[in-house]
Amino acid sequence: MAVADMELPPTVQPAIPVGDDFMTREQLAQLTPEDLVRRTTALKPLLQRHAAACERERRPIVEVWNAIRATGCFYHFMPRKYGGLEFDVDSFLDAMLPLAEGCASTGWVTAFCVEHIWMLSQFPEPFQDEIFGGGGDHVPYVIAPGVTAPPGKAIPVDGGYRISGRWKWGTGIMNSNWAMVACAIPDDPERRALFCALPTNEVKVLDTWHIDGMEGTGSHDLLIEDAFIPEYRTMNMNDMRAGTGHGARLYDNPIYRQPMTPFLGVTAAIGGVGVGRAAVAAFAEQLQQRVIPGSTTRQSDKPAAQMRLAHADVQIATAEMLLRAAVNRNVELAAGPVPATFEQRSFMRLQIAHAMEICREAIRTLVEAAGAGAHMRGNPLQRHLRDINVMSNHVIYDIDAASELRGRAMLGMEPNSMIY
């Protein structure tokens, strides 16, 4: 064994989906957005019961994941050409929020993997035929993380590329059958960043996800050593960021022409609103039972507690409105005659970052008033606080970077980051 291999963390085995539970075309044709929302909402108690176990096992629970698959939510953004649903962005939030309320980690992974179906629709048509077609009466799909940092290396060879690298933040890998990894082409004059897709069984998953919140996402590192990727399984990430990927040309629906970053930002922020809702509900329940130390007064009778509860509730609702405004604006601009500008996209990014910051502030103010018992392992409030602290540190919610980009746009300056 090579020394480099000996220094690597141990590997962990994903639960690769069997793929024997795909829905039929007839079932999908009858599924409405309202049906989908009812199905995911009905799963919230199941996710709540398994939330602690999800955190302990550091991955979504297979029983829960299979129940989520059965709702049909992973068809949400699959093109109708392949039997998918092509539902709108509001119903995406409606369907994902109950899952995030039940378990922030599982809801986060689910929302990402649903959005990643949209990413897969931006790849060349032959690859979409490979993963979405050929299922007969049943309509297949794949679960695939999308990892970008740090980028790997793609060496051009006949018919494609040979890629190598180690990537962090592999959300979705523990329940996946494919993976998308970002790679740079050395000495490429166009400085292209490629998204390369390959089956999970060609990826080593390193056991690195030891963290103080969102531990149930299982977002381990991915390692690939000299794998061949045919050209048709690659996509120019700059096109996807701009809303000009293959899906923008293949499908007559503005959801496939929206720039990636605002859509991605809203997708991840669903978890913030969901865990915020869960924290408000938990705090309200605990107020009814907690007696203020040194008194005989229930905390629910204290005006200060009532005010914190009400304020947090409105903050979470406000954050949700910001997300809906941003994602609908992203699609609205995509439906227009010209692409969204830097000024427009930078505003949406800052709007989304503020939504996540509002969620973090709301949960923090509740936990501050909940007493030391809120930090006991058996109290869900401590997990909600840890989860929001971790998810709000996603690079897309860097409030300083988002504000800087917005300020540069307002002053007529060029962007100094691709994340907008």
Identity of the amino acid at 162 = R
Please identify which residue in the block is written with the tokens 């300083």: 400
The amino acid at residue 149 is A
Instruction: Please give the pLDDT value at position 403.
Output: 97
Does position 5 have pLDDT exceeding 70, yes or no? no
The arithmetic mean of pLDDT across residues 1-28, rounded, is 82
d(CA 291, CA 249): 61
Which of 68, 35, 36, 73 lies closest to 50 in space, CA to CA? 68
* CA–CA dist 2, 20 (Å, integer): 39
Res. 58: pLDDT tops 80: yes
**Is residue 3 over pLDDT 70?**
no
Residue 213 parent element (H or E): none
Q: Is the pLDDT of residue 4 over 60?
A: no
DSSP state of 417: -
Q: In this structure, which amino acid lies at residue 407? A: G
Per-residue confidence at 1, pLDDT binned at 50, 70, 90? very low
Distance CA 174, CA 61 (A): 10
- How far apart, in whole angstroms, are the C-alpha atoms of residue 37 and residue 99? 10
**CA atoms in the 13 A half-sphere facing the CB of 291:** 5
pLDDT at 18: 83
Summarised one tens digit per residue, pLDDT across range 112-144 is: 999 999 999 999 999 999 999 977 889 999 999
Q: What pLDDT was estimated at residue 164?
A: 98
Q: In terms of C-beta density within 10 A (0-12 exposed, 13-18 middle, 19 or more buried), how is residue 288 classed?
A: exposed
pLDDT at 53: 97
Average pLDDT on 58-73 reads: 97
Q: What is the pLDDT of residue 27?
A: 96
Strand partners, 229: 161
> Lowest-confidence range among 100-104, 159-163, 296-300, 352-356?
296-300
Which pLDDT does position 6 carry in this prediction? 54
Q: Which residues of 334-344 are buried (b: 16+ CB within 10 A; e: fewer)?
A: beeeeebebeb
Q: What is the DSSP letter of 291?
A: B
159-213 pLDDT, tens digit each: 999 999 999 999 999 999 999 999 999 999 888 899 999 999 999 999 999 999 9
d(CA 105, CA 217): 5
Residue 2 has pLDDT above 70, yes or no: no
pLDDT at residue 13, rounded to an integer: 95
- Amino acid, res. 21: D
**38-55 pLDDT tens trace:** 999 999 999 999 999 999
Round to whole Å and give the CA distance between 404 and 112. 26
227 pLDDT exceeds 70? yes
C-alpha distances out from residue 226 to 89, 184, 273, Å: 38, 14, 40
| 3-state class (DSSP) for residue 393 | coil
Distance (Å, whole) CA 122 – CA 235: 7
pLDDT given at position 190: 86
Confidence class for position 360, pLDDT limits 50, 70, 90:
very high
Strand duo 178-184 + 234-236: pairing: unpaired
State residue 134's pLDDT score: 75
In this prediction, residues 260-269 reach a mean pLDDT of 97
Query: Rounded to a whole number, what is the distance in angstroms from the first to the last CA of the chain?
Result: 43
The rounded mean pLDDT for the chain is 95
CA dist 367 and 290 (Å) reads 13
Q: What is the mean pLDDT of residues 58-82?
A: 97
Instruction: Look up residue 62 and give its amino acid.
Output: V
Count Cα neighbours of 82 within 13 Å in the Cβ-side half-sphere: 32
* C-alpha span between 324 and 106 (Å, rounded): 21
Q: How far is CA 31 from CA 38, 39, 75, 96, 138, in A?
A: 11, 11, 10, 16, 14
